[in-house]
């Protein structure tokens, strides 16, 4: 039970579903000393958070259940350092919008959010100490290495803005200024994490542990943060929209690899169910007059999928149902929160305009506009 985990159980829960864990001994030592590891996850506040955000949320839920203290960095300054993905005038509203979304997502997966600490990047990234460290790091890190560190995260282009080179420098300093034992992020952050290990000691700061979750394929087999609107499901998409998008999802029978629905079940639906539910993912087969398929782990589910026992036709409605159940409290919270709704309009004014235009044109049946994770307007 959650409150009496042994050190081994704590570590096991920290490791669940990670693709990589660099310098785990740092965390092991903290736990052996009887302290609560302090871990942060940063998110640049750019495009609207979508269902892909459930993947880090579930990992955060596990970290909290394992007794970690989790800090969520709302990286507002990073939102515009990266090629102005968030325009400077909107970034503050976006950070507020993200805080509402992330809180609601975590509540939807049963996380007691009082245990979470939200920090706004700009609240400390403009202090004299931080800025002086920024200058110092700029003097000891080469342009080449700064570019390399951001290669998979920062938008690359010809004649790219200089701010893209600052992005990794700030992310590395954040580990020191947030006073954490570890940083958590997707494997796309790997080069930034490697830079942190190398650069912090240059200023006499200690290196941290790094936890990485795998990139989960989206509904069309690509990363869910791609700019293809149908490949991602907005947190506020109505149940019938969710069902429709999932119906359209690419899911070749018997091919488990790269299947976004199986991945979403493995990394979100199953862990959510095991944190505070039956621990099961249920696939109804009433129509065929058969007993439901009941999964407790991803391995059995993947095996059944490969053997076509779990067909795409069976999987899709099961995923839609479970996802709509997760989204319902988020959408209810949004409807009940006037402040959140007002911030949404201010944070994404362009989308709101587009949405209205589209609604007139096609009765709102299409994806209601939306920016990708990278903030690019939907085509």
The H or E element spanning position 268 is: none
Q: Cβ of residue 174: shortest distance to ligand TYR, in angstroms?
A: 3
C-alpha neighbours within 13 Å on the C-beta side of residue 69? 12
30 binds ligand TYR (CB under 6 A): no
Pick from 55, 70, 109, 153: which binds ligand TYR (CB under 6 A)?
A: 153
The answer to whether residues 64 and 113 touch, using CB atoms and an 8 Å cutoff, is no
Per CB under 6 A, which region of 72-80, 92-100, 103-111, 312-320 contacts ligand TYR? 72-80
Phi and psi torsions of 146, nearest 5°: -65, -40
Q: Which two tokens stand for residue 65?
A: 């259940």
Stretch touching ligand TYR by CB under 6 A, among 6-14, 40-48, 106-114, 269-277: 40-48
Per CB under 6 A, the segment of 10-18, 42-50, 201-209, 359-367 that binds ligand TYR is 42-50
- Could you tell me if 129 and 82 are in contact, meaning their C-beta atoms sit under 8 angstroms apart? no
In angstroms, give the least distance from the CB of 199 to ligand TYR: 13
Asked if residue 99 binds ligand TYR (CB under 6 A), the reply is no
Please tell me whether residue 314 binds ligand TYR under the rule CB under 6 A: no
Residue 149 and residue 195: Cα distance in Å, rounded? Answer: 6
| 283 binds ligand TYR, rule: CB under 6 A | no
The full DSSP string for 17-45 is T-SEEE-HHHHHHHHHTTPPPEEEEEEE-
Annotate each residue in 180-219 with x if it binds ligand TYR (CB under 6 A) or - if it does not, as one string.
Answer: ---------x------------------------------
CB of 44 to ligand TYR, least distance (A): 4
Among 22, 27, 31, 44, the residue binding ligand TYR under the rule CB under 6 A is 44
Whole-number Å distance between alpha carbons of 365 and 163: 39
Torsion sign (Cα): 86, 152, 185, 277: positive
Could you list the residues that contact ligand TYR (CB under 6 A)?
Answer: 42-44, 73, 75, 78, 153, 171, 174, 189
């Amino acid at each position: 039970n959650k409150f009496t985990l042994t050190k081994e159980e704590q570590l096991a829960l920290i490791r669940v579903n990670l693709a990589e864990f660099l310098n785990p001994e740092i965390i092991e030592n903290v736990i052996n000393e009887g302290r609560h590891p302090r871990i942060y996850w940063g998110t640049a506040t750019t495009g609207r958070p979508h269902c892909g955000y459930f993947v880090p949320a579930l990992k955060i839920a596990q970290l909290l259940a394992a007794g970690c203290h989790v800090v969520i960095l709302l990286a507002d300054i990073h939102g515009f350092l990266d090629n102005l993905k968030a325009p400077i005038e909107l970034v503050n509203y976006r950070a507020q919008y993200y805080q509402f979304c992330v809180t609601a997502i975590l509540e939807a997966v049963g996380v007691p959010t009082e245990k979470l600490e939200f920090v706004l990047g700009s609240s400390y990234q403009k202090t004299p100490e931080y800025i002086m460290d920024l200058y110092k790091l700029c003097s000891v890190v080469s342009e080449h290495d700064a570019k390399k560190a951001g290669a998979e995260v920062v938008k690359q282009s010809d004649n790219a803005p200089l701010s893209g080179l600052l992005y990794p420098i700030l992310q590395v300093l954040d580990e020191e200024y947030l006073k954490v034992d570890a940083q958590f992020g997707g494997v796309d952050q790997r080069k930034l994490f490697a830079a942190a290990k190398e650069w912090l000691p240059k200023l006499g700061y200690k290196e941290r542990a790094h936890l990485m979750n795998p990139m989960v394929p989206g509904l069309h087999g690509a990363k869910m943060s791609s700019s293809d609107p149908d490949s991602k499901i907005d947190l506020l998409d109505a149940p019938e929209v969710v069902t429709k998008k999932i119906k359209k999802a690419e899911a070749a029978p018997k091919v488990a690899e790269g299947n976004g629905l199986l991945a979403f079940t493995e990394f979100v639906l199953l862990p959510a169910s095991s944190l505070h539910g039956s621990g099961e993912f249920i696939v109804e087969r009433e129509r065929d007059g058969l007993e439901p398929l009941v999964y407790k782990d991803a391995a059995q589910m993947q095996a059944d999928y490969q053997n076509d026992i779990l067909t795409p036709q069976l999987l899709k409605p099961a995923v839609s149902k479970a996802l709509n159940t997760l989204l319902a409290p988020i959408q209810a919270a949004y409807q009940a929160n006037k402040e959140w709704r007002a911030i949404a309009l201010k944070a994404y004014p362009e989308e709101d305009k587009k949405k209205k235009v589209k609604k007139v044109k096609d009765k709102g049946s299409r994806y209601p506009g939306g920016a990708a994770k990278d903030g690019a307007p939907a085509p």
